[in-house]
Every structure is written in C-alpha cells, then in structure tokens.
C-alpha cells in the first residue's frame, strides 16, 4: 500500500469527523429549541392565577428546594373575555434539575388560550443556550443562539411546533431549517425540512469550512441521540460525504461521542487532478468530549478507489478501522480485515495485495497537516502479485511487513515465516521463460524509487525451481537489474543432466547463465538424455575451482584444477569445457587423461609369466598433452600439440594422438548391459612418433595401436625398430606384437619377413 492511500484515508476520516461535529452542534441547537417550547407551557399555571394587568411579573418553577426555571415578564395582562392572557417582554431562564444550564428564551409577546391550553408566540423567539456559570478556574462557557417565530404549544398533548424557519448559531458556525416540532412526552425534537449547517474553519476541520444538508433532523433527548435523515450531504472543501441517515449519540454533557452513517454512505473528493471515493454499508465514528476523533470504522463491502494522471488505486475489505492521535485529528493506525485486497496501477506496473487482515501505521508527512504511511503489515497470510509488461511476480508468506521512506515510497518488504516467490518473464510458451519458484523461511525485498522491487533476499532452507532446474541453499539473493539469483550457504543446483555443489552459485534467470565458485563438484547422470560425458560406466564427476556456463546454450566450463572421473577413467586439466548439444568435451592446459584398456588373450598369456595388469583384467593408459577433445557419440578423443602416452603395453610420443573408446568387457556370466563402460580400444599417433615397448624403440610418422590384438603398427616416413643390442629393423611398415615378441616387417618390395625377438621381462 502506498503513502498516498494514507493521505486519502486521513482525509476521509477528517471528513467524517467534521460531519460528526456538525451533528453535535445541530443536536445542541435543537435541544435548546425543545427546551424553549417546553418552557412556554409554564404560563398556563401563571395566567390562571392572574386576574389583572401587572408589572414585573416573575415566577419560579421549583422542584423541592431547587429552582428549575424562572419566568419573567415586564407585563402580564389577563383578559376575561375569551379566557386569554398576554405576557409581554418574556424571559425564561432554565437551570435544569442539576443546575448545569443557564439557557434563556426571550420573546416580545406570548398569548395563552385558557380554554384549550394553547400558548402561541407569533413574533420572533430568541433562545440563548449555555452552561452554568463556571468556577473561576473553569473555562468561559460558549453559547448557542436560536431564532424562530410563530411557536405554538399545546398543553394537552405536550406538543410544541412551528412551521416557520429556524436559525441557530454558535462560535463554530450557524445553521437553519424549516418547521420545528417538539414532543414533551417523548422528548423528541424534529426539524422537519431543509436542514442546513455551516461550520467555520478550524483545526478539527483541517482549516476548511464544513457544510451539512439533510432532509430532516430529529433529536431524542432521553436517548441523547440525534438523527439526520436523508438524503444527507456533508461538504468539506472538495470532499463530500453522502448517506441516507446519520445517527449521533451524545454523552451526559451533550457532546458527540458516537456516530453511525447508514444507507449507502460514500465519500468522494477531487484534488490536484486526482479523484477518490470510498463506500461501505455503514460508517461509524467515536469522538472525545473535546471533539477530537478517536476512531472511525467502515463496515460491510468497504471499497475505495483513487484515480490520477499517473495511475489508479483500489482497496476493498469487509471492515476497516482508523484510530487517531489524541488532541489532533491525525491518523495513527488503520486496521482492515475480511478479504482485504489492494490494487495499484502506475506506469505499466500493477501490484495487488490480498490478505485476511492488514494493519497500517501513519506518521507526519513532509508538509503541515499531511500524513504518510510509515509501515504496514498483514495480520495473516498474504499474497502480493506484481506485473510489468510480460514479467509477473507473486510473493506469498504467512506475514508481510513493509516500511516506507519519508517521501512515502515503499522502501523494503519483509515476509515470513514460510515464503514462496513465483516469477515468470517473457513469452510463457517459451522454455526459457518457464516459471521460477523459490521457497524459504524468510524474505526481504528492497524497492527502487519507481516502486519496482530491486532485490529479494531469502534465508533459511531456500529452494529454487525453474523447469527441470533446481537449486537449494541457506541464502539466496535475486537481483532485478542483473537478472540473477545468487545462492550461498552450501548451495546445490541440478537439472535433468547434472547436480552441482559449490561455495557460491549465481544463476541468470532469463539468460540461463550459471557461475559456481569455490569447491565446485558436478555429477553428470548417465541416464540423462544428451549425455555429453561418457568416458566410463556410472555417473561422471567433475571438480574445479570455478564453473561458468549457460543452460540455454548447453556450454559449461570448469576451470582451475579441473578434474573429471568416471569409473576408472580420469581427466585432469586447467580447464574442461562441455558442450551439451554437441555432446563434446574439451580439456586444455596440462591435460592428463587416464583410460582403462581391457586386456586381450595374448596379453593374459604373457601375464602368467609375470603379472603386469590389475586383478580386474584391465590395464590403464595415461595420456598427457596440452589439449584434448572428446566426441561422445563417436567415442573418440583427440590429443594435440605434443602427446605422451604411457601404459603397461608401452609408451609413445607424438604430435597428435587419437584414441577410440569402445564398450567395455563384461565379467563372467554378465550380459552386455553390465559392461564396465567405455575403454580404450585403439589409438592412432601421428607426427614424429616414438614408441617404446620393453627394450625396443620404434619411430615413424604414424603409429597405430590395437588393444584387441595387443600390437603396434608403425608406418609413414622411415619406420624403424631398434632393440637393446642395437639391432635395427626397418621397412615400409613394422608391426610388433606385445605379448609374443613378434615383429612383422612389410618391405618396400612387398615381401614380408617375420622376425622373433625375446623381450626381456
């Protein structure tokens, strides 16, 4: 909720306060009128005792030892004919049973009809109402003056009335109406038509005049209640309250203390190019004896709206209550409950809040008599929906708390425990724009001056999900400008292909870019589609200092002591790059690769003479080079820029080396599905090749090794083999078998010569 809403609610509350104050004035005025009518019935008893014209007439109405009222007249005349008496220059002073009143009624002349008991004052009647004379330390009482004419009192029915207009005034304002009736039996005063009242500007009315119009006004003295019957309209500056009925209850001193506004009440206002309105089934207000508003509430289908050139706001709930600071009509707190909903639209940004209950606290604004929202909190679970263009964000928590700055702009939002954030951007049908869902124990969101959230921090058991991507950590921060999520505190991220742990992980939400640092370990699952790492059986693991990549492009780079291991296969390098879609792997910088080779039958026979392989029946090749590229679909690895390869079968050096990895062998009784993974089946070395096998050294432009036959074939250039004794053998191609020490020579003339050498073991 924005600070502008606080100002609107403050103005609505001030309007209601003005209406209530007006009612109090009207009540007091009509109460005085009713008292005057009742006093006019008194001459009935007096005139029955007067038989002649007298001067300085005086009569005291007593109750026990207390004087209730005094009637004075400068002259009283009894007419025998017509049984009529006339009192002139009449003054009636009313003290009341408690002696707390000093009301005076004055008129020039009243007539009394003895036969019917009717008293009629045709001329102008003036009524001055005020409290009793105060003690020296008390405040000076302020009076109310009422003027009317043609007042009639029926002593038999106790009804006083006049069809004439009535005017009343007091220090705060003045009013008028047409026709007054007063029932002494029911103690009800009614102004029949065209009730109007104007209140002078004051601190209580925000420095603005207040006017009130009603169809009729009714005062129930015994109930200390005032009823304004509609249509009723209260105007304060550019603000207007309208309703069908306004009821006010008074305290013992006839100060307004409780008011109810009914009959489709609404408040409307327009100011500075904006317009707002609020309506409810009923409005209710409570005032202090001094006239300050204590609290105001609206009940049943409460709805508020505001429109400006910049946007619009709406608010709805079942019940809302405003409390005010003592001695000044300044909003202190607002509490709303029952299906609370608030919507704001501004500059293409829409924000909606839904909750079961909401509390808002207010503080002084930048200008005098201005207020702003200081903070707001939901008193139950809440949901906040925000949308801007194609981006949609939803926050849900068991409780939200907001803080606003001095300019009334939302500063930050706290949520928890139990928070869920849903965000979707771009075309929802695009896989790159899949909905992002995160959960945590608590949340803190920071907002920019435009009202958009800038960062969101989540703490405690954080989980992040987007499509098949999942992340977890102790802490997460979402940065709107950078469009990324940063996970710390043992973060784990995974997708259909892999699972990665690190000290810190950063994910680009739309771009799919990912960066992991500090102790990175990734596990690639062998069952995943598009598997780009398949050097052996089971899952593949990669560790490094840093991981960078993109889930959209499928390219991932591991750098800083990168190491990959899968079953018996191992790959180490300064940097390992994986292309998911191309199913390709590249290692650069100090590359060391270890691939297993399943021994063939000839090698097994040789091993009986002297064990040279592991008990599993396989031997390992260790390859070193500046660069290695591996194509998963072909099972082919290429090493470049100077290669060294070592195994139990021999070693070689060359400029390049291509290694083919085929399906591994199966154990006895096992089926093909239980193969031990890919293993080295052949290798082709090119460029200044040198092969060492036992005490023999071979050289050529090309050397090909076949694991199944256990043989090296040298070709290209001038293939030569030299043994430990210095014997040299050359030919167009030379083939020697590791297991049985056989060398096959293909001469340039096409003839083949078989030479056997005993290999020293």
Give the residue from 127, 101, 156, 109 showing the smallest Cα distance to 36: 127
Read off the pLDDT of each residue in 254-266 and give the average, rounded to a whole number.
86
Supply the pLDDT for residue 251: 78
Read off the pLDDT of each residue in 4-12 and give the average, rounded to a whole number.
40
What are the CA-CA distances from residue 511 to residues 122, 432, 440 (Å)? 91, 8, 23
Surface-to-core class of residue 172, CB atoms within 10 Å of its CB (0-12 exposed, 13-18 middle, 19+ buried): buried
**Per-residue model confidence as pLDDT tens digits over 160-172:** 788 999 887 766 6
598 or 319, higher pLDDT: 319
Report how far residue 563's alpha carbon sits from residue 587's, in angstroms, rounded to the nearest whole number: 10
Share of the chain above pLDDT 90, in %: 30
pLDDT of 72 > 70? The answer is yes
Report how far residue 502's alpha carbon sits from residue 413's, in angstroms, rounded to the nearest whole number: 29
pLDDT band at 518 (very low <50, low <70, confident <90, very high): very high
Query: 587 is written with which tokens?
Result: 């290692």
Supply the pLDDT for residue 339: 93
Report how far residue 525's alpha carbon sits from residue 137's, in angstroms, rounded to the nearest whole number: 91
150, 118 Cβ separation under 8 angstroms:
no
Domains of the chain: 171-367 (2.60.450.10), 583-756 (2.60.450.10)
Query: 187 is written with which tokens?
Result: 């103690």
Report how far residue 594's alpha carbon sits from residue 574's, in angstroms, rounded to the nearest whole number: 16
pLDDT of 1 > 70? The answer is no
For residues 142-164, one letter each, b for 16 or more C-beta atoms within 10 angstroms of the residue's C-beta and e for the rest, the string is ebbbbbbbebbbbbeebbbbbeb
Supply the pLDDT for residue 569: 92
Supply the pLDDT for residue 481: 85
**Per-residue model confidence as pLDDT tens digits over 372-414:** 788 889 999 999 998 877 788 898 999 999 888 877 677 889 9
For residues 719-743, one letter each, b for 16 or more C-beta atoms within 10 angstroms of the residue's C-beta and e for the rest, the string is bebebeeeeebbbebbbbbbbebbb
pLDDT band at 610 (very low <50, low <70, confident <90, very high): very low
**Per-residue model confidence as pLDDT tens digits over 223-232:** 878 888 989 9
Report how far residue 659's alpha carbon sits from residue 652's, in angstroms, rounded to the nearest whole number: 13
Q: What does the mean pLDDT of the chain come to?
A: 78
pLDDT of 546 > 90? The answer is yes
Supply the pLDDT for residue 669: 43
pLDDT band at 607 (very low <50, low <70, confident <90, very high): very low
What are the CA-CA distances from residue 504 to residues 128, 302, 423, 513 (Å)? 83, 48, 22, 14
pLDDT band at 612 (very low <50, low <70, confident <90, very high): very low
Chain center to CA of 416: 11
Query: 370 is written with which tokens?
Result: 């201005």
What are the CA-CA distances from residue 745 to residues 317, 682, 736, 737 (Å)? 98, 21, 9, 12
Chain center to CA of 273: 28
DSSP sequence for 448-483: -TTS-EEEEEEEEEEEEEETTEEEEEEEEEEETTTT
**Per-residue model confidence as pLDDT tens digits over 42-57:** 444 444 444 556 677 7
| Cα maximum dimension of the chain | 174
Read off the pLDDT of each residue in 567-588 and give the average, rounded to a whole number.
93
Report how far residue 518's alpha carbon sits from residue 540's, in angstroms, rounded to the nearest whole number: 20
Supply the pLDDT for residue 670: 42
Give the residue from 284, 282, 292 showing the smallest Cα distance to 249: 284
Chain center to CA of 143: 53
**Per-residue model confidence as pLDDT tens digits over 326-379:** 766 778 888 999 999 998 887 777 889 999 999 988 887 766 666 778 888 999
pLDDT band at 28 (very low <50, low <70, confident <90, very high): very low
DSSP sequence for 264-319: S-EEEEEETTEEEEEE-SEEEEEE-TTS-EEEEEEEEEEEEEEE-SSEEEEEEEEE
Supply the pLDDT for residue 401: 93
Report how far residue 576's alpha carbon sits from residue 570's, in angstroms, rounded to the nearest whole number: 12
pLDDT of 418 > 90? The answer is yes
Supply the pLDDT for residue 745: 80
Report how far residue 43's alpha carbon sits from residue 87's, in angstroms, rounded to the nearest whole number: 8
Supply the pLDDT for residue 130: 64
Query: Which pTM does this prediction carry?
Result: 0.69
pLDDT band at 600 (very low <50, low <70, confident <90, very high): low
Report how far residue 697's alpha carbon sits from residue 721's, in angstroms, rounded to the nearest whole number: 5
Supply the pLDDT for residue 302: 94
Chain center to CA of 240: 32
Supply the pLDDT for residue 747: 67
pLDDT of 705 > 80? The answer is yes
20, 256 Cβ separation under 8 angstroms:
yes
Read off the pLDDT of each residue in 668-688 and give the average, rounded to a whole number.
71
pLDDT of 10 > 80? The answer is no
Supply the pLDDT for residue 256: 77
**Per-residue model confidence as pLDDT tens digits over 97-130:** 666 667 777 888 888 776 776 778 888 988 776 6
Rg of the chain over Cα atoms, rounded to whole angstroms, equals 50
Report how far residue 612's alpha carbon sits from residue 619's, in angstroms, rounded to the nearest whole number: 8
């Amino acid at each position: 909720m924005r600070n502008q809403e606080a100002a609107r609610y403050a103005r609505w509350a001030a309007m209601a306060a003005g209406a209530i104050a007006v009612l109090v004035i009207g009540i007091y005025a009509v109460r005085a009128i009713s008292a005057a009518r009742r006093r006019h019935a008194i001459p009935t008893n007096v005139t029955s005792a007067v038989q002649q014209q007298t001067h300085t007439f005086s009569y005291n109405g007593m109750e026990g030892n207390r004087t209730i009222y005094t009637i004075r007249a400068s002259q009283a005349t009894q007419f025998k004919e017509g049984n009529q008496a006339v009192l002139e220059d009449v003054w009636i002073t009313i003290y009341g049973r408690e002696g707390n009143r000093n009301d005076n009624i004055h008129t020039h002349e009243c007539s009394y009809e003895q036969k019917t008991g009717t008293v009629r004052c045709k001329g102008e009647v003036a009524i001055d109402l005020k409290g009793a004379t105060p003690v020296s330390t008390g405040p000076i009482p302020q009076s109310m003056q009422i003027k009317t004419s043609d007042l009639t009192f029926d002593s038999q029915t106790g009804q006083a009335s006049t069809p004439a207009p009535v005017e009343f005034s007091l220090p705060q304002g003045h009013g008028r109406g047409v026709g007054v009736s007063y029932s002494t039996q029911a103690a009800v005063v009614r102004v029949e038509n065209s009730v109007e009242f104007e209140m002078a500007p004051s601190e209580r009315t925000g420095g603005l005049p207040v006017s009130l119009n009603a169809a009729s006004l009714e005062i129930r003295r015994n109930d200390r209640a005032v009823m304004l019957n509609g249509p009723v309209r209260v105007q304060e500056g550019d603000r207007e309250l309208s309703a069908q009925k306004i009821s006010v209850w008074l305290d013992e001193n006839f100060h307004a203390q409780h008011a109810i506004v009914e009959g489709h009440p609404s408040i409307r206002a327009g100011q500075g190019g904006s317009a707002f309105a609020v309506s409810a089934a009923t409005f209710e207000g409570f005032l202090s004896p001094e006239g300050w508003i204590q609290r105001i509430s609206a009940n049943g289908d409460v709805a508020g709206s505001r429109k400006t050139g910049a946007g619009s706001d709406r608010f709805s709930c079942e019940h809302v209550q405003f409390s005010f600071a003592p001695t000044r009509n300044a909003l202190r707190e607002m509490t709303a409950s029952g299906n609370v909903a608030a919507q704001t639209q501004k500059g293409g940004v829409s924000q909606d809040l839904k909750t079961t209950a909401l509390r808002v606290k207010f503080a002084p604004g930048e200008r005098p008599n201005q207020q702003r929202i200081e903070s707001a909190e939901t008193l139950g679970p809440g949901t906040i929906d925000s949308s801007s263009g194609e981006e949609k964000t939803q926050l849900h928590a068991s409780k939200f708390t907001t803080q606003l700055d001095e300019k009334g702009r939302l500063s930050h939002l706290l949520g928890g425990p139990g928070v869920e954030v849903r965000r979707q951007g771009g075309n929802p049908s695009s896989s790159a724009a899949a909905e992002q869902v995160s959960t945590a124990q608590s949340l803190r969101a920071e907002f920019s001056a435009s009202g958009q959230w800038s960062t969101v921090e989540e703490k405690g058991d954080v989980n992040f999900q987007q499509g098949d991507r999942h992340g977890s950590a102790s802490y997460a921060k979402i940065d709107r400008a950078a469009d990324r999520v940063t996970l710390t505190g043992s973060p784990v991220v995974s997708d259909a292909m892999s699972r990665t742990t690190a000290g810190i992980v950063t994910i680009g939400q739309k771009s799919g870019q990912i960066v992991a640092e500090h102790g990175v370990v990734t596990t690639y699952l062998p069952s995943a589609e598009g598997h780009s790492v398949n050097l052996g059986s089971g899952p593949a693991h990669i560790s490094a200092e840093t991981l960078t990549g993109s889930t959209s492009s499928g390219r991932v780079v591991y750098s800083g002591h990168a190491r990959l291991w899968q079953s018996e296969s191992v790959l180490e390098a300064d940097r390992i790059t994986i292309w998911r879609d191309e199913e390709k792997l590249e290692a650069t910088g100090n590359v060391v690769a270890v691939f297993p080779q399943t021994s063939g039958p000839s090698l097994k026979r040789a091993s009986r003479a002297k064990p040279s392989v592991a008990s599993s029946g396989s031997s390992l090749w260790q390859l070193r080079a500046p660069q290695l590229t591996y194509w998963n679909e072909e099972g082919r690895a290429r090493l470049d820029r100077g290669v060294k390869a070592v195994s139990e079968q021999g070693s070689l050096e060359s400029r390049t080396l291509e290694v083919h990895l085929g399906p591994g062998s199966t154990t006895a009784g096992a089926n093909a599905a239980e193969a031990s993974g890919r293993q080295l089946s052949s290798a082709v070395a090119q460029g200044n090749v040198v092969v060492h096998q036992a005490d023999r050294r071979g050289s050529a432009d090309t050397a090909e090794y076949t694991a199944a036959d256990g043989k090296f074939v040298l070709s290209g250039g001038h293939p030569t083999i030299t043994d430990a004794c210095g014997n040299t053998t050359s030919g167009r191609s030379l083939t020697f078998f590791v297991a049985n020490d056989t060398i096959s020579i293909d001469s340039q003339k096409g003839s083949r010569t078989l030479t056997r050498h005993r290999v020293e073991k």
